[in-house]
Structure 1
Amino acid sequence: MTQIPASLSPARWAISTVFLLNGAGIGLWAAHVPVVQARTGIDTATLSMVLLTIAAGALLAMPLMGGFTARWGTRRMTLLAGFAFAATLAVVMGVSDLRLLFLVAFAFGVSNGALDVAMNANASEVETARGVPTMSSFHGFFSLGGLLGAALGGVMISQGWGDGQGAFAMAIMTAIALVFAAPRVMAFTPTHEAGSHFQLPRGAALSLGLLALLCFAVEGALVDWSALLMQERTAAAPATAALAYSAFSIAMAACRFAGDRLILRFGAMRVMVLGGLAMFAGLATAVLSTHFLLSAAGFALIGIGAANVVPLLFGAASRIPGMSAGAGVAAVATLGYGGLLLAPPVLGYIAAQASIMVALGALSLSGLVIALSAGIIKRQA
């Protein structure tokens, strides 16, 4: 049995706290999106442009952060990005002016994309130092944070704090938590070799990135289209249909906390194969079933399957020869985030030409591709 140095325990919980805070901020924002739309008086098309602006900021920051972490270290960049995330979180949900909203939305996206890369790079270094699988639990804290943030956002809005007061309070709490976690976030020696900065994904980085793209595409599709599918296939009421995504989210969070033990017991490659097959079977079940409970079970199965795929891919990305942990994660995260951004509108086009059932049915093949490509995880171990 691997003996884990006691000094690494504070580092593990410190970076877990960062993942939790990031997830909570994203969950809080998700709950406030309708409030921001109503306060600014924008239509759905303009709101889509605001969301696209956030995504554009993240996509710009991710590859740049790969180089920054290689130069200045993952600890420093995680903390800088974390405080920037807290600051923009305080503003983006309280803005009323439309032009200012677009500016702050871009800054919010930049800080979130930068934090995503930096904290995953630091987490991968902690995992390597510990010598046992740990990445899934980090992502579990992110998922838990998302659920808590969304719930907290709902409470804030119901109490009349949706005007930005709640977001400001959350930002203050986030900053305070980061101050307490900062001394325990572990610093690793920055790398300055030629391959440490961002490169156009190729070889292993490209393969891992494309698999991340497929996994994120499934997640993005479920955010936008799961409720509609449930309404069309099972005749569920809108409020009931929304529970499909909840089943996916809760199953994913729970399975991520179990993921490290599963990987330690069965091996990363086997977990990824079973994860891909579960994604395929779950999405196929959700698409084909006309019974609400069976379809909801299909969405939960997708969450179970997808839970540990991205942590495994990010962990493998941090170990690509010739690339620093940050640069590897940046390359894979950028492609993955592209899937999250592009999948919903592409599937919407397919749905318009055929049906949402056909669109999501075609997407279910992503699970098979992930299962068949699991050998890349073994090669990067």
Structure 2
Amino acid sequence: MLNKSSIQLLSVAYFFAAPGLSFSLLTSRMPALSQRLGIDPAIVGLILFCLGCSSLCAMALTPKLTAKYSSKRLITIAALLCPLFVILCGLSPNIYVFFVCVAALGLSLGFVDVTMNVQGVLLEKAENKSRLSFLHAVFALAAAAASFASGLLTSLGADPYLNFLILGVPYACFIPLASKRLFDDKESDEEKTERTKSVKSVPLFIIFCGVFCLLASETEGVVVDWGSLYMASLDGVSQAIAALTFGFFSLATAGCRLFCDRLRDNYGDKTIAAAGGVLSSLGGLLVVLTPSFPLLTLIGFALLGAGLSPIVPILFSAGGKVPGVSPAIASSTIALFNYGGMLFVPPLFGYIVQHTSLAMPFICSIFSCLVIAVGCGVLLNKRPH
């Protein structure tokens, strides 16, 4: 029999699955959707870019909406809309309707991303335990499960909209039940006035949490955008082997996040974040120094994922607990940096790669990981109390 604490943890975790599930469903069936709608790869890239931009807009709006309606109400509505807009993407009759549905999905994903971290911070505060690493692992595992399930349904000949219905509707049905266990954080007028007086702008501590999140997400984005291309450029590496690159990285990230909370409680966030930065930089070194040994290169990508696994959860947790600052404002600020790093920085390496080599993005990522190791160690040592 589950106790109250476990039920609350699973309820919050259920909402962390929403963005991973929804985004993975859409991207896994994008080839079929683009073929049916007659969309070329350049337009697909533009549509996905607009999805990211609409998510960033939602993240910027979330603190005001959370202050007015509470993160509990906002995340419940947005999480219900995520599978709905994915299904509508599958039913889109033309590119224009598809574009609108994708943009609406991006807004919903942005709202969920901030509010789920708000709920995670509130859970950590209530239990005085580390929880965000596990919760972020649920996000990654939901994405992986949706991808594998979509692959199975594709092999069985299911149309994208049927794929979305089969996986999206059952998830949506349990959202009202899970939402009952969420934290209601709507502020009273007195609390809002007091917080506004005490904090005139976002503290530098939260800004730096965002900057280090940007470096971590930039490194993840480099693996997503350039990892398989780098592997495929190595002698004797097939396309099938190159396709495993992000799999090694993401499985290591998700697997380590399942256990990181216990390490955080035992050794402290500062130690784990610094160690993670060092481990990820060693993984990056292995990637660029072993081009003749593909297995070692893949292990390097796994070490990159393992080292980065605790960074983002730790920074969201630290930023969300700054005294006098709403967790919604902190989470929104950090999320903007986080997604901005993944969305905008990796494509910039295209010009650099053109004039150097495919190894250059990973060489830059090594330095990013070292900055994370040193910077997080210093930053978390000066955490406001």
* TM-score, normalised by the number of residues in structure 1: 0.94
Q: What does residue 37 of structure 1 align with?
A: 34
After TM superposition, the structure 1 = structure 2 runs for residues 1-381 of structure 1, keeping only pairs within 5 Å, are 7-190=4-187, 192-193=192-193, 203-290=204-291, 291-374=293-376, 375-380=378-383
Amino acid at match of 2:341: G
Identity percentage of aligned residues: 27
What SS class does the counterpart of residue 164 from structure 1 fall into? Answer: helix
Q: Verify the 8 A CA contact 1:347 1:360 in the aligned structure 2.
A: no
In the TM superposition, residue 258 of structure 1 has moved relative to its aligned partner by 0.4
What SS class does the counterpart of residue 157 from structure 2 fall into? Answer: coil
Q: Distance in 2 between matches of 1:362 and 1:351?
A: 11
Relative to 1, partners in 2 of residues 1:93 and 1:275: Cα closer, same or farther, differing over 3 Å? farther
Relative to 1, partners in 2 of residues 1:201 and 1:105: Cα closer, same or farther, differing over 3 Å? farther
Q: Distance in 2 between matches of 1:27 and 1:323?
A: 33
Q: Distance in 1 between matches of 2:235 and 2:308?
A: 24
Q: Distance in 1 between matches of 2:278 and 2:90?
A: 39
Q: Distance in 2 between matches of 1:360 and 1:109?
A: 28
Relative to 1, partners in 2 of residues 1:41 and 1:201: Cα closer, same or farther, differing over 3 Å? farther
What are the Cα deviations for residues 295-336 of structure 1, in whole angstroms up to 9, with x where unaligned?
Answer: 010000011111110000111121223320011000010011
Q: Distance in 2 between matches of 1:100 and 1:160?
A: 24
- Give the number of equivalent residue pairs: 377
Q: Verify the 8 A CA contact 2:37 2:93 in the aligned structure 1.
A: yes
What SS class does the counterpart of residue 192 from structure 2 fall into? Answer: coil
Amino acid at match of 2:83: A
Structure 1, unaligned runs of 5 or more: 1-5
Q: Distance in 1 between matches of 2:260 and 2:345?
A: 26
Amino acid at match of 1:107: A
Q: Verify the 8 A CA contact 1:71 1:192 in the aligned structure 2.
A: no
Relative to 1, partners in 2 of residues 1:219 and 1:193: Cα closer, same or farther, differing over 3 Å? farther
Structure 2, unaligned runs of 5 or more: none
In the TM superposition, residue 177 of structure 1 has moved relative to its aligned partner by 1.9
What are the Cα deviations for residues 38-74 of structure 1, in whole angstroms up to 9, with x where unaligned?
Answer: 1221111111100011001101000111222233222
What are the Cα deviations for residues 21-50 of structure 1, in whole angstroms up to 9, with x where unaligned?
Answer: 332222222211222221221111111100
Q: Distance in 1 between matches of 2:63 and 2:144?
A: 28
Relative to 1, partners in 2 of residues 1:322 and 1:270: Cα closer, same or farther, differing over 3 Å? same
Q: Distance in 1 between matches of 2:193 and 2:372?
A: 31
Amino acid at match of 2:208: S
In the TM superposition, residue 138 of structure 1 has moved relative to its aligned partner by 0.4
* TM-score, normalised by the number of residues in structure 2: 0.93
Q: Verify the 8 A CA contact 2:222 2:361 in the aligned structure 1.
A: no
Backbone CA RMSD of aligned residues: 2.0
